[in-house]
Amino acid sequence: MAGLLTPRESAEFIAENSRDVSIDGGGVRRVAELLLAKAAGPELRLGGWKALHELNPRAADEAAVNWVFVADTLNFSFWSEREERKCLVGYRGRTYSGYWSLCAAINRALDEGIPITSASYYATVSLDQVRHILRSDTDVPMPLIEERHRILNETGKVLLEKFEGSFLNCVRKSEKSAQKLMHLVVENFPSYRDVTEFEGKRISFYKRAQILVADTWSVLEGEGDGCFRDISSITMFADYRLPQVLVHLGALKYSEELLEKLLKGEMLSYGSRQEVEIRGCSLWCVELIRDCLLELIEKKGEKMSEEINSILLDYYLWDYARDHRDDMKGIPFHRTRCIYY
Ligand SMILES: Nc1nc2c(c(CN[C@H]3C=C[C@H](O)[C@@H]3O)cn2[C@@H]2O[C@H](COP(=O)(O)O)[C@@H](O)[C@H]2O)c(=O)[nH]1
């Protein structure tokens, strides 16, 4: 698209022109130091995607790739109006919320013999069937069920028409380029077009397209079709959890006015100035943390078994946010209801 900045270019431009969100250099360094202590551990490694998350596929086959595709096609907007009333899904003895409630619902459907990861099924699945598949154990349904139904039909039809019904064919068309795969996804699947404007420029975050590439790399264990030579060009994924954890860790700061607004639970619309500043500064903040961490590793002379990139930092920080929910109670996440993150 003419004049469209890449996510990384967008983030740098936003950070340079942001009014209500700023990056704290000292906080960036402190987070890099926190991550340095983990650099050699299991969390900051590609294998963590399977080892740390029981709902993710164990396999690295075509079915697993198609599982990732349907999960990331629906990977958006799980936050509930009130923390104590939210969608929950029980699966194999455990109860899941947020993003994990989606994964649990997908696996529950597969166990029930519903082929939810097959394009030939979800291209024509009905709204009632989607309501059943994504049903909550509480009286609070998963948000945006109608949009999820529409997106499943739209995405399934495109996958059947252009990629013989399997996302692995789309991956193979990328010829092991993460950037090419990301662009194939946003060109062919409209619900992934996470683009907007800021200060007169056309900017992109491509949050779900980037996490789809990352999760494809992870499920294929960075091998074979998933051995992307430019995987480190993928940035963090601008969702609503990473900003919250970056503020909690002191790497990101909100203006008094914005903080007050978020504490009141006011919604920010998709593409509004403050929402774009939160997403863009978060993305740029993780890029700076990565640069600082790589410098610290260099200084320490530590040999890394695999390259640390923004994907692994993002996964770590997202898991950290999950594990420190209570510590982060005082820090609001921003409330935008949309299909992009
Ligand atoms: N930045 C970033 N955002 C991520 C993810 C994930 C899960 N992905 C990987 C992580 C572990 C698995 O291995 C998955 O591969 C979900 N989200 C976003 O968070 C929000 C849901 O949050 P909560 O309401 O708390 O469940 C929603 O916008 C969702 O889109 C990630 O990793 N990074």
With H, G, I as helix, E, B as strand and everything else as coil, classify residue 253.
Answer: strand
With H, G, I as helix, E, B as strand and everything else as coil, classify residue 91.
Answer: strand
pLDDT greater than 60 at residue 205: yes
Output the pLDDT for position 155.
Answer: 98
98 lines ligand 1 (CB under 6 A): yes
Output the pLDDT for position 130.
Answer: 98
* Cα 334 to averaged position of ligand 1 atoms, centre (Å): 15
* Percentage of the chain exceeding pLDDT 90: 95
* Percentage of the chain exceeding pLDDT 70: 99
> What one-character-per-residue DSSP string does 171-186 give?
HHHTTT-HHHHHHHHH
Output the pLDDT for position 280.
Answer: 98
Digit-coded pLDDT (tens) for 277-319: 999 999 999 999 999 999 999 998 877 777 899 999 999 999 9
Residue 280 CA to residue 136 CA, distance in Å, equals 33
Return phi, psi of residue 272, to 5°.
-70, 160
39-59: average pLDDT: 93
62-70: average pLDDT: 98
Contacts of 248 (CB under 8 A, 6+ apart): 321, 324, 327, 328, 331
Confidence of residue 341 (pLDDT cuts 50, 70, 90): very high
Ligand 1 atom closest to residue 52's alpha carbon, by position in its atom list: 13
Q: In this structure, which residue's CA is closest to atom 25 in ligand 1?
A: 98
Output the pLDDT for position 1.
Answer: 54
Chain centre distance of CA 259: 23
pLDDT greater than 70 at residue 57: yes
Of 101-110, 158-167, 297-306, the least confident: 297-306
Q: In this structure, which residue's CA is closest to atom 21 in ligand 1?
A: 99
* Average pLDDT value for the chain: 96
318 lines ligand 1 (CB under 6 A): yes
The residue to mutate among 205, 241, 283, having the most atoms of ligand 1 within 8 angstroms of its beta carbon, is 241
Digit-coded pLDDT (tens) for 124-137: 999 999 999 999 99
Closest CA to 13 of 284, 211, 248: 284
53 lines ligand 1 (CB under 6 A): yes
287 lines ligand 1 (CB under 6 A): no
ipTM, interface predicted TM-score of the complex: 0.97
Output the pLDDT for position 41.
Answer: 85
* Cα 299 to averaged position of ligand 1 atoms, centre (Å): 32
* Cα 230 to averaged position of ligand 1 atoms, centre (Å): 22
Output the pLDDT for position 66.
Answer: 98
Query: To 10 degrees, the CA torsion angle through 39, 41, 47, 48?
Result: -100
Catalytic residue check, 291: no
Quote the DSSP letter at residue 4.
B
Asked if 65 contacts 167 with a C-beta cutoff of 8 angstroms, the reply is yes
Q: Where on the phi/psi map is residue 175: left (φ > 0), alpha (ψ -120 to 50), or beta? A: left
